[in-house]
Amino acid sequence: MYHTIVRAKTRRIWARMARGDYRAAVDMAAPTVRFRFVGDAAPAAELVGRDAFEQWFADLYRLLPDLRLRLTDVVAKGWPWKTTVVVRLAVTATLADGSRYENEGVQWVTLRWGRMVDDYVLEDTARLAAAIERQHHAVAQAAGGR
C-alpha cells in the first residue's frame, strides 16, 4: 500500500512537471537535498540545498523555455525512512531555431519521510549537448539579426 501511495504522489508531481511547473520538485526537496545531473557541460551539476536546486531549474528553463519533462514509468521500494523512487522520463523542447529536441532519462531519488534527500539524473548527454549548442547558436543569430 505504501508503494502505491508513493507512486501516485510521484505521478502527481510529474504531471505538474509536464506542465513546466518545476516548483513541484523543489517543494518536495529537503533543505539539504543533494542533486546530481550527470554530464560535462551545462546543465550538468552537482549541488546541495533546495535554493541551489531551484536555481538549477530556473537556469534550465531560461536555457530551454519550452522544456517539457514527462514521466513514462515509476518504481518505488523501501520504507518511509528510506524510500527509493526510480523514474523513467521523456524530455522534449522546441529550440529557438524551430528544431525539436527529444531525449530520455532516468532519475534515481531517495526519500526520507516523504522528502527528497538525494536526486540523481542520467540523460543522454551527447544529445543534450548538441541541442544546447543549437539553442545557443539560434539565440545568438536572433540577437545578431536585430
State the Cα–Cα distance between residues 49 and 30, nearest whole angstrom: 8
Contacts with 65 (C-beta within 8 Å, 6 or more apart), sequence order: none
Per-residue pLDDT of 35-61, as tens digits, reads: 999 988 778 999 999 999 999 999 999
Per-residue pLDDT of 95-138, as tens digits, reads: 999 999 999 999 999 999 999 999 999 999 889 989 988 888 98
